[in-house]
Structure 1
Amino acid sequence: MFKENKVKLGIAPIGWTNDDMPELGGEITFEQCISEMALAGFVGCEVGNKYPRDTKVLKKALSLRGLSIASAWFSAFLTSKPFEETEEAFKAHRDFLYEMGAKVIVVSEQGNSIQGQMETPLFDKKPVFTEEEWDLLIDGLNRLGDLAAEKGMNIVYHHHMGTGIQTTEEIDRLMEETDPKKVSLLYDTGHLVFSGEDHLHVLNKHINRIRHVHLKDVRIEVANKVREEKMSFLQAVKAGVFTVPGDGVIDFKPVFEALDAAGYEGWFVVEAEQDPAIANPFEYALKARQYIRETCGL
């Protein structure tokens, strides 16, 4: 399964140290994080807040361990701030990733987002874009796509819990109204299942737009509790709603089969933000690596 050397397997540092909640994994160093990624058998990663921003320093640290950068998260504020503010920050982010050899830039619209609010109920207070905000978002993303193309790169949009692009309907509209030459999709299994979407339907419908994949599993009993008890996104993460592939409710075999049949090329990035004091990140990285090898041969 999968053409040789066409799909690379990475892992996100958020399992070791959480950007949104620095108290999770605060004691874990950058060096421990990337060393354990390599030991677990991964060849790449995304970028966390403890990573050095000096590209020479970062390249040396990663190359010593046989790792490269797959991408990194970018928060856009196209619906809530002047485009120029997002543009300036995006160019700096793009240039950093370009220097690190990444081909895609992960973009998520954070205008009105509640994902970083500790006490805001995730499902009851989910933002919904107005028509004016949709226009700003679509136009802004197309323009960011142009800026990425200047460096031969692509933007991949990350649908995300607690934001204006979370549901199947919202993803469908985003894909319909953005220029397919300028805006691609990041497919995240965990966020879709947590939201209550049919992740395989979204995968098959938009498979030709998918240029980046996050492999994230869900503990469904925690997801149900989040709805019932009106918990926030950050509270859900602390409660362990996410885990690595093979440890939750999702069967990844049909996901891998569909992507293989479509000739997917690019990165698979394991991403499972948990409390590292409860879920040892190295142990879970090994668990994910074994499951992926057994399920799709990578």
Structure 2
Amino acid sequence: MPTVTLGINPLTWTNDDLPSLGTSTPLETCLQEGREAGFTGFELGNKFPRTPDALGKVLKDHELALVSGWYSAHLLERSPEEEIAAVQDHLNLLKQCGASVMVFCEVSRCVHGDQQRPLSQRPHLSENDWQRLCSGLDIVGDYLKSQGIQLVYHHHLGTVIESQTDVERLMDSTGEGVGLLLDFGHLRGAGGDPLIIAQRYSTRIHHVHCKDLRFAVLEAVRNRDKSFLNGVLDGLFTVPGDGDVDFLPALTHLCEQGYQGWLVVEAEQDPEVAHPLTYARLGYRNLHDLAEQAGFDVANATH
């Protein structure tokens, strides 16, 4: 029985793309409430210290592990060698604090951080762009693997890799050094099917974000040509089991294929509307139940 560990992203409390959300909430509150809800690990956010000693101490104080941390790549704007140079501090932080995967997203031309630009204006890649991105990812992914860190590519609404077709082409055009982060909410938000992606690329999936979606809000965001961030404010995302995404088929398949790693609750919401501790507890309980239904053994050990 494969074992998974449940982690959470600080987006439940604060938001990197829209800092006005949860701006006054201290990191201490995020970590304390996340641990209280049952999670044993956190992904990084903008309030975390960025030196290994300081980060290691604050996580240890709360008996938490470092799950991973987002890295904004610019492979369409700089060479793989320049990207490798740029990633060194982040790589060192992850390595020294015990993470095994790096959440990696190409953000050139992205619109998800711009509240004024609708998702319909998200960038698309030319043939030359595809070749450049995939070859660059292979080089960076192989380098990170040589350093003991697995690159996991985060397909994301409002970026160059958004749709299921994008994900499939990316995976089919890169090697094992480029892993995949399966994000349920972003894939369903782009009209994709998590089960199909899990079936096709289970050996490449090394990280999972369990973000739920409210389909009625998604429809309104698309119909009214809204931005990603305005969708967040409208309540587009929520914790697993509180929206309309069916997690069980893909999670069950991943379990059958032997996935072991983190399942991470990632649900950016307005903390003034969605009380963070309440939703963290709900997310933990629902994800724990889903993981067990899928056949996983859920690790409960403290770190």
- Give the TM-score normalised by the residue count of structure 2: 0.94
Establish whether residue 30 from structure 1 lines up as the match of residue 27 from structure 2: yes
Establish whether residue 190 from structure 1 lines up as the match of residue 185 from structure 2: yes
Return 5+ residue gaps in structure 1 as ranges.
none
Residue 216 of structure 1 deviates from its aligned partner by 0.4
Establish whether residue 246 from structure 1 lines up as the match of residue 241 from structure 2: yes
Establish whether residue 230 from structure 1 lines up as the match of residue 231 from structure 2: no
* Whole-angstrom distance in 2 between the partners of 1:121 and 1:71: 29
* Whole-angstrom distance in 2 between the partners of 1:117 and 1:253: 33
* Whole-angstrom distance in 1 between the partners of 2:136 and 2:270: 35
Matched position secondary structure for 2:121: coil
Residue 198 of structure 1 deviates from its aligned partner by 1.7
Residue 104 of structure 1 deviates from its aligned partner by 0.6
Answer yes or no: is the 8 Å Cα contact 1:242–1:273 preserved in 2.
yes
Matched position secondary structure for 1:249: coil
- The runs of at least 4 consecutive aligned structure 1 residues that moved more than 4 Å come to none
* Whole-angstrom distance in 1 between the partners of 2:29 and 2:171: 38
Establish whether residue 280 from structure 1 lines up as the match of residue 286 from structure 2: no
Amino acid across the alignment from 1:27 = S
Aligned residues: 293
* Whole-angstrom distance in 2 between the partners of 1:17 and 1:42: 17
Matched position secondary structure for 1:155: strand
Amino acid across the alignment from 2:132 = L
What's the C-alpha RMSD, in Å, of the aligned pairs? 1.2
Residue equivalent to 2:71: 74
Residue 62 of structure 1 deviates from its aligned partner by 1.1
* Whole-angstrom distance in 1 between the partners of 2:27 and 2:159: 29
Amino acid across the alignment from 1:22 = P
Residue 86 of structure 1 deviates from its aligned partner by 2.3
Residue 103 of structure 1 deviates from its aligned partner by 0.5
Amino acid across the alignment from 1:96 = L
Amino acid across the alignment from 1:86 = E
Residue equivalent to 1:17: 14
Residue equivalent to 1:132: 128
My pick for the range that moved more, 153-162 or 74-83, is 74-83
Q: Deviations over 1:42-95 (max 9, x none)?
A: 010100110011222221221122211111000111112344442222122111
Q: Deviations over 1:144-167 (max 9, x none)?
A: 112212321110000000111111
- 2:151 aligned to which of 146, 149, 155: 155
- Give the TM-score normalised by the residue count of structure 1: 0.95
Amino acid across the alignment from 1:213 = V
Answer yes or no: is the 8 Å Cα contact 2:79–2:136 preserved in 1.
no
Residue 253 of structure 1 deviates from its aligned partner by 2.0
Residue equivalent to 1:45: 42
* Whole-angstrom distance in 1 between the partners of 2:18 and 2:101: 25
Residue equivalent to 1:213: 208
Matched position secondary structure for 1:206: helix
Matched position secondary structure for 1:74: strand
Residue equivalent to 1:255: 250
Answer yes or no: is the 8 Å Cα contact 1:79–1:134 preserved in 2.
no
